[in-house]
Amino acid sequence: MVGVVVAIIWMKDLIAVVMLLGIYGLLTASFFMAMDAVDVAFTEASVGAGISTLLLLVAIAKTKRKEHPSRHKPLLALLVVVITGGLLIYGTYDMPIFGMADAPAHTHVAQRYIEDSYDEIGIPNIVTSVLSSYRGFDTFGEVVVIFTAGLGIIGLLSTVNGTGTRKKLPTINDSIEDQHIVLRIVGKILIPFILLFALYVQFHGEYGPGGGFQAGVIFGAGIILYAMLFGMDIARRVISQSLIQLIAAFGVLLYGAVGVVSFLNGGTFLDYNVLLENPVAGQHLGILLIELGVGMTVASVIIIIFFNFAGRKGPQQISDDLGA
């Protein structure tokens, strides 16, 4: 991994940098897997190696491909980095030994999650129970972060060049539309399965790794694939921008509504126990609903981001790289 990062520093070709970053993401994901963090590995694989690589490529397509070979102040940077790094290394000396089972991190709060979460929430995946119930408010915040980014990107990128007349939108892959019939047919067969798989991940999160976020990413990726294969125009006709925005907003509202209903029912915000008479069933319902909200917001924001990026004018030098 260190090697990959060092290579990133030296590379001037941004596409290669992004590809290496994708590899880095994938390596990180495998490391998470080895560390027993299956949910995190799943997310990192889809985000680090998937979405962020895709976004960076699209952004490079809209800007410049080469890094200008100029160096500003490597010495100062080096100094700052060495001080910070030195401080961190200094800090590691009093850390508990790696993997030690009785480190303070494992013996205090986490203990209860492992021992009692099944009785209190009723689902085997502890990560899901902590994520959506014990620390459900953090997850709400996370959805809002995504929503904020989506809004920010629309606010920055949309409609600036599209005043009035609807011209044919420039896409990053006009060429594919004509050339790759095989790709399109394969895509047509594949896309329904991707969307189905997304739904599976959405509702299976309670038992295995997965959940609203990962499902949203997969669903969004499916739509993006469709847009890439059949052209942005058609994709936009199928899914209108304003509708997607509303879905994203609705996801946040759904999550919030669960919280509001729970305090109307006499609990506190996001207290799923009071949603139904049986607390465990209430937890089930609550988690199901909020994961749905997460999935909706994430999927629509990803689509929004991609559409807005791809809708900008810009040099199209890497359209072939992307398609191939």
Partner 1 sequence: MAHLPILQVILPLLAAPLCLFLKRPKLVWLFACVVTALTFTISVLLVQQVTSTGVISYELGGWAPPWGIEYRIDALNAFVIMVVSGLSAVVLLAARTSLENELSSNRQTYFYALYLLSLTGMLGILATGDAFNVFVFLEISSLSAYALIAMGKDRRALWASYQYLIMGTIGATFILIGIGLMYQMTGTLNMQDLAERLPEVAQTRTVFVSFAFVVVGVCLKLALFPLHLWLPNAYAYAPSIVTAMLAATSTKVAIYLLIRFTFTVFGLSFSFTTLPLNILFLVLGLLGVFVASTSAIYQQNVKHIFAYSSIAQVGYMIVGISVGTAAGLSASLMHIFNHALMKGALFLALAGVMYRLGNVQLKSFQGLGRQMPLTMAAIVVGGLSLIGVPLTVGFISKWYLVVAMIENGWWPVAILILFGSLLAIIYLWRVVEVAYFRAPNKDNESVKEAPLGILIPTWILVLANVYFGVDTRINVQIAQMAAENLFGVAP
Partner 2 sequence: MLIGHYNYWVVVALMMLGFYIIIAHGNLIKKLVGLTIFQTSVFIFYISVAKVDGGSAPILADGITQYSNPLPHVLILTAIVVGIATTALGLAIIVRINEAYDSIEEEFIQQQDNLS
Q: Give yes or no for residue 35 binding partner 1 (CB under 8 A).
A: no
Pairwise CA distance, residues 255 & 188, whole Å: 33
Least separation, in Å, of the C-beta of 58 and partner 1? 18
Q: Give yes or no for residue 114 binding partner 2 (CB under 8 A).
A: yes
Q: Give yes or no for residue 186 binding partner 2 (CB under 8 A).
A: no
The number of residues making up the chain comes to 324
| Amino acid type, 20 | L
196-255: contacts with partner 1 (CB under 8 A)? 245-246, 248-250, 252-253
Least separation, in Å, of the C-beta of 307 and partner 2? 12
28-57: contacts with partner 2 (CB under 8 A)? 28, 31-32, 35-40, 43-44, 47-48, 51-52, 55-56
Pairwise CA distance, residues 117 & 17, whole Å: 43
Q: How many Cα atoms occupy the beta-carbon half-sphere of 285 within 13 Å? A: 18
Q: Give yes or no for residue 139 binding partner 2 (CB under 8 A).
A: yes
Q: Which is nearer to partner 1, 3 or 162 (CB)?
A: 162
Q: Give yes or no for residue 146 binding partner 2 (CB under 8 A).
A: yes
Q: Which is nearer to partner 1, 18 or 287 (CB)?
A: 287
Q: Give yes or no for residue 110 binding partner 1 (CB under 8 A).
A: yes
Residue 55 contact partner, candidates partner 1, partner 2, none, CB within 5 to 8 A by sort of partner = partner 2
Residue 246 contact partner, candidates partner 2, partner 1, none, CB within 5 to 8 A by sort of partner = partner 1
| Amino acid type, 180 | H
Pairwise CA distance, residues 272 & 195, whole Å: 29
| Look-up of token digits 């102040």 | 73
Q: Give yes or no for residue 191 binding partner 1 (CB under 8 A).
A: no
Contacts of 66 (CB under 8 A, 6+ apart): 12, 13, 14
Binding mask 194-233 for partner 2 (x = CB under 8 A): -------------xxx---x--------------------
Q: Give yes or no for residue 17 binding partner 2 (CB under 8 A).
A: yes
Q: Give yes or no for residue 60 binding partner 2 (CB under 8 A).
A: yes
Q: Is 265 left (phi over 0), alpha (psi -120 to 50) or beta?
A: alpha
**Three-state secondary structure call for residue 217:** helix
Pairwise CA distance, residues 134 & 281, whole Å: 16
Pick from 29, 271, 305, 310: which binds partner 1 (CB under 8 A)?
271
Q: Which is nearer to partner 2, 187 or 251 (CB)?
A: 251
Pick from 254, 286, 251, 294: nearest CA to 270: 286
276-305: contacts with partner 2 (CB under 8 A)? 298, 305
Residue 260 contact partner, candidates partner 1, partner 2, none, CB within 5 to 8 A by sort of partner = partner 1
**Three-state secondary structure call for residue 57:** helix
Binding mask 135-164 for partner 1 (x = CB under 8 A): xxxx--xx-xx-xxx-xxxxxx--x-----
Pairwise CA distance, residues 152 & 48, whole Å: 21
For 35, 69, 83, 103, 135, the CA distances from 94, given in Å and listed in that order, are 22, 41, 18, 12, 29
Pairwise CA distance, residues 123 & 284, whole Å: 8
Residue 259 contact partner, candidates partner 1, partner 2, none, CB within 5 to 8 A by sort of partner = partner 1
- For the four alpha carbons of 289, 286, 302 and 324, in that order, the dihedral sign comes to negative
Provide the binding-site residues for partner 1, judged by CB under 8 A: 87-88, 90-96, 103-110, 112-113, 133-138, 141-142, 144-145, 147-149, 151-156, 159, 245-246, 248-250, 252-253, 256, 259-260, 262-263, 267-274
